[in-house]
């Protein structure tokens, strides 16, 4: 990893944070060759918070997590967008059995008849998207990772990140996406703490 900054911080090394599949919460590793860089290996959901809070200077993470956990916080700046890795989209899916729902307007009409129960781990982005489409009568339920981990008893909408590979998994779970149901497109980004750069 290389980085050049016009105003390096005094008495402090440059700290990077990378995604790790390790179960260890905080792995740190010094970078060799005399560079004043420390690498932290973190869970993807922690990376945005660590950069935002100034615990680290830079981090690699998906834009979906930046949008969800970084929000409108001006402390985070995109250093490099779309690194052509980990591309996916965050989209709304509903049960295929809902033949009266083919778009967000149909979902809004359904929400006016009864409260929607929405399974997602993207609370903030889901709320913004639903408000944009005039849907206010809903209840969000937390789910684990991926569409297959949704609560089985709830045949309700789901907001999940979907890669091309996982789009098939949505269909396998008898869910369909709306043409106008994409909340955002995501890929790996290099983000930084504005005050530290």
How confident is the model over 165-176, as pLDDT tens digits? Answer: 556 677 777 888
Q: Does one domain contain both 73 and 106?
A: no
How large is the average pLDDT for residues 174-196?
A: 89
Burial of 11 (0-12, 13-18, 19+ CB in 10 A): exposed
Q: Does one domain contain both 68 and 94?
A: no
Domain that holds residue 132: 88-185
Structure confidence at residue 71 (pLDDT): 65
CB 60 within 8 Å of CB 190 = yes
Q: How far apart are the first and last CA of the chain?
A: 16
Q: Is 174 within a domain?
A: yes
Tokens of 187: 């890929």
Q: Does one domain contain both 114 and 44?
A: no
How large is the average pLDDT for residues 37-41?
A: 78
Pairwise pLDDT comparison (33 vs 186), residue with the higher score: 186
Q: Does one domain contain both 191 and 180?
A: no
| Most distant CA atoms of the chain, gap in Å | 65
Q: Does one domain contain both 21 and 95?
A: no
How confident is the model over 42-90, as pLDDT tens digits? Answer: 888 889 999 988 888 899 888 889 988 886 668 888 888 878 787 888 8
How confident is the model over 94-115, as pLDDT tens digits? Answer: 999 999 999 999 999 999 998 8
For 161-193, the DSSP string reads EE-HHHHHHHHHTTEEEEEEEEEEEE-EEEEEE
CB 102 within 8 Å of CB 92 = no
Average pLDDT of every residue of the chain: 76
Q: Does one domain contain both 101 and 62?
A: no
Q: Does one domain contain both 181 and 101?
A: yes
Distance CA 134, CA 70 (A): 24
Q: Does one domain contain both 81 and 106?
A: no
CB 81 within 8 Å of CB 135 = no
Q: Does one domain contain both 180 and 92?
A: yes
Question: Is this model's pTM higher than 0.75 or not?
Answer: no
Q: Does one domain contain both 60 and 120?
A: no
Number of domains the chain contains: 2
How large is the average pLDDT for residues 136-141?
A: 87
CATH of residue 95: 3.40.190.10
Distance CA 112, CA 155 (A): 17
Please name which of 52, 60, 49 lies closest in space to residue 17, comparing C-alpha atoms: 60
């Amino acid at each position: 990893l290389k980085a050049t900054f016009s105003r390096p911080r005094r008495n402090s090394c440059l700290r990077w944070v990378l995604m790790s599949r390790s179960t260890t919460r905080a792995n740190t590793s010094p970078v060799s060759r005399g560079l004043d860089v420390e690498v932290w290996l973190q869970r993807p959901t922690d990376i945005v918070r660590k950069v935002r809070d100034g615990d680290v200077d830079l981090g690699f993470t998906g834009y979906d997590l930046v949008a969800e956990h970084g929000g409108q916080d001006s402390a985070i700046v995109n250093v490099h967008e779309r690194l052509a890795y980990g591309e996916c989209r965050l989209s709304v899916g509903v049960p295929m059995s809902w033949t009266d729902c083919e778009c967000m307007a149909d979902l809004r009409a359904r929400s006016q008849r009864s409260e929607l129960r929405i399974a997602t781990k993207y609370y903030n982005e889901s709320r913004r998207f639903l408000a944009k489409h005039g849907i206010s009568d809903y209840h969000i339920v937390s789910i684990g990772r991926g569409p297959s981990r949704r609560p089985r008893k709830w045949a309700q909408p789901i907001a999940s990140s979907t890669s091309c590979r996982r789009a098939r998994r949505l269909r396998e779970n008898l869910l369909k996406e709306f043409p106008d149901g994409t909340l955002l497109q995501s890929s790996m980004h290099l983000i930084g703490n504005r005050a530290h750069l």
